[in-house]
Amino acid sequence: MELVLAIAIGVLTASGVYLILRPRTFQVIIGLSLISYAVNLFIFSMGRLRIDAAPVITHGNTDPSAYTDPVPQALVLTAIVIGFAMTALFLVVMLAARGFTGTDHVDGRD
Amino acid sequence: MTGISDHLVILPILLPLATAILVTLIDDRYRMLRIGISLGATALLVGVALLLVVPTIQVGPSDTELIKSYPLGNWPMPFGIVLVADRLSALMVLVTSILGMATLTFSLSRWYTAGAHFPAIFQLLLMGLNGAFLTGDLFNLFVFFEVMLAASYGLLLHGSGTARVKAALHYIAVNLVASFLFLISAALIYGVTGTLNMADLVVRIPQIAAADRPLLDAGLGLLGLTFLIKAGMWPISFWLPGAYSVAAAPVAAMFAIMTKVGVYALLRLSYLLFAAEAEGVLGFNHTVLFIGGIVTLAFGAIGVLSSQTSMRLASYLVLVSSGTLLATIGYGGVNVLSGALFYLVISTFAIAALFLLIEIIERSRIVGADVLAVTMEAYGEGDEDENEPEHEEAGLVIPASTAFLGISFGICCLLLAGLPPLSGFLAKFAILSSVLEGSVEPGASAWWLMGTLIVSGLAVLIAMARSGINIFWATLEPGAVTARLSEVAPIVVLLVLCIAIGILPAPILAYMEGAATLVNVPGLYVLEVMGPEAAATLARETAQ
């Protein structure tokens, strides 16, 4: 499971970095989105991978070994919200730039 | 936790947030009400910041009264988020609020009306800045960075136009990538140490198993890289001049403190996290900071000399300021640091005043003067003013504006080039004299720092003198200068503050020295935030 997750994060990051370095704004925003997925998975994995373990205490069972670390899940939630908002904002700026310059090149000219 | 004074630490965050919400709810038809609320809240913020600073002035450097921690929700310490106000944070909050007051006043005559949500976004920027200066938690620092950045995107776009949208596209992309690096580093640090509380990190880092150390170093290195991007270290400062030089004047003036957030975070974390060890990792490594700072300084100086427009010149001055600060932080030592903090305050105010001045100057110049003066037409940047608002009556038109502009420009020049008799000279002198006093036989790094500081000062002087001649003697239309009282007042206040600091430098330098001493003693920080037990653990580890 660790290997699969590590490969997934690696592939997402690599594709994201490649796309960010491309000259079209659409490629850049997709690249940023892919990197944000990779980062979110990475934060999640930093709480160690556990199967069948909830992050919140249930049924009065207070044994900490029965639960997974809740902090990274809280962090990832915050990161998702912020990343999503920023991507939306970037999308608007991207469209404005397309309208102003008439091209989708990141420098505003081909 | 009873009196209002106990809750003072969180007010610089709550006040702008409440104001932002309030002014968003009020319709723009009641413009005077919105202006009144914004101005009143920002003035109140200056007062709160003063209340944070004043109690820390008179006490000795080892007194724990100097550091105030404020656990949010009163959670027991490693678990909750904590706000910490010491001399350094209080000073930064005060600088932010004064700058905020000045730029907000300046924006009233013109830029305020260019977009509906300017007052709210401006308050959110203040909130993000203050939060970043006050927080004692790594992830909370990320959140406040994002609040600040989101507000800065909005402000950079304020006034719209092709140039701004193009610059914002680059600025947002770079900062989004930096934010992802921040997240990765925070996750790595949490994964290894199990905590995000800065004071708790100080205690836990020496206990990390040797096998986990590379992972932690990678995390800390990425964290340093994030702050260096914000602070504008060469070569990752390529985004800065482009973004700053097209921003609306009050926004650019406010951005003068945004690079200082990166500098602040580097200063705070490098001394906090690596106190027990001689060398940190990349970014926090003081050699890297020193060399990076020197190169940034040189790059900024060359940029200043090669600038063709005044806004670009001022943007490169931001880099010069960042480079000086990074190099001095890298050089280290309490006296050098106190000089650096002195320089930080002066350069921030002077650069902000310069951005505001340029705005008044540029709109009074003969149209196309720059094009005649230098070969700018090849770059096709003539269309940036298309969506700017019309002048609006606000306050009196002051007489003798040209003389005022000339004198103010001269003062900015003296402050930024670091020439006597003004405080810019004192700041550089404080840095250089402590560099020389620190060692009997000054090493190569001391000479490098002295050399680049002095030569960059010369470069700034040449560039600003050239620009001043070009503006005031060649291309300023006689009698065409119009400036409102609300535009002149903030510039005067900022410059008078700088000059006043130069007239009475002793108490201010003593305060900076206290702040620098406090930064150098992480034990006190841990003692205040985590309690005596953690401080004892730290002391045991350091002794080993």
Q: Would you list the DSSP string of B178-202?
A: HHHHHHHHHHHHHHHHS--BHHHHH
| Nearest residue, CB atoms, A39 vs list B150, B173, B183 | B183
Give the per-residue pLDDT at A77.
92
Chain B residue numbers with beta carbons less than 8 Å from the beta carbon of A86 are 146, 150, 172, 176, 179
Q: Is the pLDDT of residue B370 over 70?
A: no
Sign of the torsion angle spanned by Cα atoms B510, B512, B515, B519:
negative
H or E, element range at B97: helix B87-107
Q: Is the pLDDT of residue B147 over 50?
A: yes
Interface of A with B (CB under 8 A): 20, 25, 28, 32, 35-36, 39, 42-43, 46-47, 71-72, 75, 78-79, 82-83, 85-87, 89-90, 93-94, 96-97, 100-101, 106-108
Rounded distance between C-alpha atoms, residue B124 and residue B140, angstroms: 16
Q: In whole angstroms, how far apart are CA B345 and each of A12, B296, B384?
A: 43, 19, 31
Give the per-residue pLDDT at B381.
45
Question: Average of pLDDT values for B134-159?
Answer: 91
Measured from the Cβ of residue B238, the count of other Cβ atoms closer than 10 Å reads: 12
Rounded distance between C-alpha atoms, residue B215 and residue B91, angstroms: 34
- Specify the range with the lowest mean pLDDT, choosing from B275-284, B335-344, B399-408, B431-440: B275-284
Q: Is the pLDDT of residue B179 over 80?
A: yes
Packing angle between helix B444-468 and helix B423-438, nearest 10 degrees? 170
Asked if B183's CB is within 8 angstroms of A46's CB, the reply is: no
State how far residue B372 is from chain A, nearest Cα, in angstroms: 25
Question: Average of pLDDT values for B99-127?
Answer: 87
Q: Is the pLDDT of residue B161 over 90?
A: no
Give the per-residue pLDDT at B278.
45
CA-based Rg of chain B, rounded to a whole angstrom?
Answer: 23
Give the per-residue pLDDT at B383.
43
A41, A86, A94: best mutation site toward chain B, by most B Cβ within 10 Å? A86
B239 token code pair? 């985004």
Q: Is the pLDDT of residue B382 over 70?
A: no
Nearest by Cα to B34 from B120, B130, B160: B120
Q: Is the pLDDT of residue B63 over 70?
A: no
> Does residue B180 belong to the interface with chain A, where contact is any CB pair within 8 Å?
yes
Chain A residue numbers with beta carbons less than 8 Å from the beta carbon of B165 are 93, 96-97, 100-101
Asked if A46's CB is within 8 angstroms of B191's CB, the reply is: yes
Chain A residue numbers with beta carbons less than 8 Å from the beta carbon of B191 are 46-47, 72
More confidently predicted of B2 and B101? B101
Sign of the torsion angle spanned by Cα atoms B83, B288, A36, B160:
positive
Q: Are B159 and B387 in contact (CB under 8 A)?
A: yes
Chain A residue numbers with beta carbons less than 8 Å from the beta carbon of B143 are 78, 82
Q: In whole angstroms, how far apart are CA B185 and each of A39, B28, B222, B326?
A: 10, 42, 5, 21
Asked if B150's CB is within 8 angstroms of A89's CB, the reply is: yes
Asked if B191's CB is within 8 angstroms of A89's CB, the reply is: no
pLDDT band at B378 (very low <50, low <70, confident <90, very high): very low
Asked if A94's CB is within 8 angstroms of B166's CB, the reply is: no
B258 burial type by CB count under 10 A (0-12 exposed, 13-18 middle, 19+ buried):
buried
> Does residue B385 belong to the interface with chain A, where contact is any CB pair within 8 Å?
no
Nearest by Cα to B318 from B391, B247, B389, B368: B247
> Does residue B169 belong to the interface with chain A, where contact is any CB pair within 8 Å?
yes
Chain A residue numbers with beta carbons less than 8 Å from the beta carbon of B160 are 96
Give the per-residue pLDDT at B315.
92
Give the per-residue pLDDT at A33.
93
Chain A residue numbers with beta carbons less than 8 Å from the beta carbon of B146 are 82, 86
A44, A77, A82: best mutation site toward chain B, by most B Cβ within 10 Å? A82
> Does residue B503 belong to the interface with chain A, where contact is any CB pair within 8 Å?
no
The ipTM estimated for the assembled molecules is 0.94
Q: In whole angstroms, how far apart are CA B214 and each of B188, B208, B210, B259, B458?
A: 11, 10, 8, 29, 43
Chain B residue numbers with beta carbons less than 8 Å from the beta carbon of A21 are none
| Nearest residue, CB atoms, A43 vs list B150, B169, B183 | B183
Mean pLDDT of chain B: 83
Domain ranges of chain B: 287-370+396-503
Asked if A106's CB is within 8 angstroms of B170's CB, the reply is: yes
- Give bridge partners of residue B70 from the DSSP assignment: B83
Q: B235-290 pLDDT, tens per residue?
A: 888 888 888 888 888 899 999 999 999 999 988 888 887 654 544 555 567 788 88
Contacts 24+ apart (CB under 8 A), B11-14: B11/B48, B12/B45, B12/B48, B12/B49, B12/B52, B12/B93, B12/B97, B12/B130, B12/B134, B13/B83, B13/B127, B13/B130, B13/B131, B13/B134
Rounded distance between C-alpha atoms, residue B445 and residue B447, angstroms: 5
B10 token code pair? 């969180």
Phi first, then psi: give them for residue B201, nearest 5 degrees: -60, -40
Packing angle between helix A25-45 and helix A70-101, nearest 10 degrees? 180
Chain B residue numbers with beta carbons less than 8 Å from the beta carbon of A47 are 191
Asked if B187's CB is within 8 angstroms of A42's CB, the reply is: yes
Asked if B190's CB is within 8 angstroms of A46's CB, the reply is: yes
Q: Is the pLDDT of residue B390 over 70?
A: no
Sign of the torsion angle spanned by Cα atoms B271, B272, B274, B280:
negative
B216 token code pair? 């932690």
A92 residue type, one letter: V
Q: A47-96 pLDDT, tens per residue?
A: 888 888 888 888 777 777 888 888 898 899 999 999 889 989 999 999 99
Q: Are B267 and B519 in contact (CB under 8 A)?
A: yes
Phi first, then psi: give them for residue B256, nearest 5 degrees: -55, -25
> Does residue B387 belong to the interface with chain A, where contact is any CB pair within 8 Å?
no
B449 residue type, one letter: L
Q: What is the DSSP string of B457-498?
A: HHHHHHHHHHHHIIIIIIIBPTT----BHHHHHHHHHHHHHH
- Percent of chain B at pLDDT > 70 equals 87
Asked if B169's CB is within 8 angstroms of A25's CB, the reply is: yes
Question: Average of pLDDT values for B334-363?
Answer: 89
Chain B residue numbers with beta carbons less than 8 Å from the beta carbon of A28 are 173
Q: Is the pLDDT of residue B132 over 90?
A: yes
Measured from the Cβ of residue B420, the count of other Cβ atoms closer than 10 Å reads: 12
Mean pLDDT of chain A: 89
> Does residue B218 belong to the interface with chain A, where contact is any CB pair within 8 Å?
no
* CATH fold for domain A2-48+70-101: Helix Hairpins (1.10.287)
Q: Are B117 and B154 in contact (CB under 8 A)?
A: yes
Q: Establish whether the linkage from the previous residue to B421 is cis, with ω within 30° of 0.
A: yes
| Nearest residue, CB atoms, A93 vs list B150, B162, B168 | B168
In B68-143 the beta strands, taken as DSSP E runs, fall at 68-71, 82-85
Give the per-residue pLDDT at B363.
76
Give the per-residue pLDDT at B461.
92
Cβ pairs A/B, distance under 8 A: 82
Chain B residue numbers with beta carbons less than 8 Å from the beta carbon of A97 are 165-166, 169
Rounded distance between C-alpha atoms, residue A9 and residue B239, angstroms: 28
Q: Could you tell me how many residues make up chain B?
A: 544
* DSSP for residue B26: S
Rounded distance between C-alpha atoms, residue B317 and residue B461, angstroms: 11
Place of tokens 């300046």: B106
Q: How far is CA A39 from the centre of its chain?
A: 5
Give the per-residue pLDDT at B478.
61
Write down the H helix ranges in B6-70.
11-25, 31-53
Q: A11-40 pLDDT, tens per residue?
A: 999 999 999 999 999 999 999 999 999 999
Give the per-residue pLDDT at B392.
47
> Does residue B188 belong to the interface with chain A, where contact is any CB pair within 8 Å?
yes
> Does residue B157 belong to the interface with chain A, where contact is any CB pair within 8 Å?
yes
State how far residue B165 is from chain A, nearest Cα, in angstroms: 6
